[in-house]
């Protein structure tokens, strides 16, 4: 058990180092030798867990395919917004998430990476929530949930790119909050709009709620 836990920690260290380099320099410029140096592990350990840079990138992208769950809300539009606010909060703190976003937005070389997965999964989950919001009468009549889910995901991607270029993402949370406030004014019906929580600490509170929920589930599992 101890050996297995050590192997998992080593694997995570390598994956994090690779994601940091992908975020800093892009896929093509990152090298296995630099990943090895940043991870601080032996060459044998690196190649035991990952045989190539492409395998590392694929794993980083796969982790980004798992859209972070948000706590259920009475307003489904709130849940859809919470997804973006939570991602903005996590991107500042999670190098694997940042590296995956950089990879997903790149179109270079002849590699076989499927960069569409993170976008597709988030758009599908967003669509599910927005269709529920429409059924509950939360959206204005002219809003198409499928179009809106694409706008939510695409606008977030563009906003984080701008934040990365201008401030190293230090203002990402504020920019994403501003994005949602502008969009929601033309999306939500008035009675719903006034109830939506789009404050700058919302992402942090959603993160804490998901963390506590995960801990409660873990405690309920049999030993």
Determine the pLDDT at residue 221: 62
CA dist 193 and 103 (Å) reads 34
134-160 pLDDT, tens digit each: 999 999 999 999 999 999 999 999 999
Average pLDDT over residues 113-133: 89
Q: Are residues 31 and 76 in the same domain?
A: no
Q: Are residues 48 and 82 in the same domain?
A: no
Count of structural domains within the chain? 2
168-191 pLDDT, tens digit each: 999 999 999 999 999 999 999 999
Would you place residue 109 in the very low, low, confident or very high pLDDT band (cuts 50, 70, 90)? low
Determine the pLDDT at residue 36: 95
Q: Are residues 52 and 83 in the same domain?
A: no
In angstroms, the Cα distances linking 162 to 155, 167, 169 are 11, 8, 8
Q: Are residues 146 and 70 in the same domain?
A: yes
Q: Are residues 28 and 126 in the same domain?
A: no
Determine the pLDDT at residue 44: 94
State which residues form the domain around 28.
Answer: 2-60
Q: What CATH number is attached to the domain comprising 77?
A: 1.10.357.10
CA dist 128 and 105 (Å) reads 24
Percentage with pLDDT > 90 across the chain: 75
Q: Which of 66-75, 115-124, 193-202 has the highest mean pLDDT?
A: 193-202
Q: What CATH number is attached to the domain comprising 6?
A: 1.10.10.60
Q: Are residues 89 and 154 in the same domain?
A: yes
Q: Are residues 106 and 137 in the same domain?
A: yes
Q: Are residues 78 and 102 in the same domain?
A: yes
**Residue 124 scores a pLDDT above 80:** yes
Q: Are residues 110 and 190 in the same domain?
A: yes
Q: Cα-flanking dihedrals φ and ψ of residue 20, to 5°?
A: -60, -40
Q: Are residues 75 and 11 in the same domain?
A: no
**Residue 223 scores a pLDDT above 60:** no
């Amino acid at each position: 058990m101890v050996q297995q836990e050590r192997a998992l920690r080593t694997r995570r260290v390598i994956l994090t180092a690779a994601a940091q380099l992908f975020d800093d320099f892009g896929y093509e410029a990152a090298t296995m030798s630099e990943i090895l140096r940043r991870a601080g592990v032996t060459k044998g350990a690196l190649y035991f867990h990952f045989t190539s840079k492409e395998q590392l990138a694929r794993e980083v992208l796969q982790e980004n395919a798992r859209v972070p769950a948000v706590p259920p809300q009475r307003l489904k539009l709130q849940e859809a917004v919470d997804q973006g606010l939570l991602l903005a909060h996590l991107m500042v703190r999670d190098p694997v998430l940042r590296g995956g976003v950089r990879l997903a937005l790149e179109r270079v070389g002849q590699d076989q990476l499927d960069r569409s997965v993170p976008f597709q999964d988030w758009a599908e989950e967003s669509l599910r929530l927005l269709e529920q919001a429409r059924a509950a009468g939360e959206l204005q009549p002219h809003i198409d949930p499928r179009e809106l889910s694409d706008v939510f995901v695409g606008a977030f991607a563009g906003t984080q790119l701008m934040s990365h270029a201008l401030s190293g993402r230090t203002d990402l949370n504020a920019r994403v909050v501003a994005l949602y406030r502008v969009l929601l004014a033309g999306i939500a019906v008035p009675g719903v709009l006034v109830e939506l929580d789009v404050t700058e600490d919302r992402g942090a509170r959603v993160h804490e709620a998901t963390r506590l929920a995960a801990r409660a589930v873990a405690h309920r599992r049999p030993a």
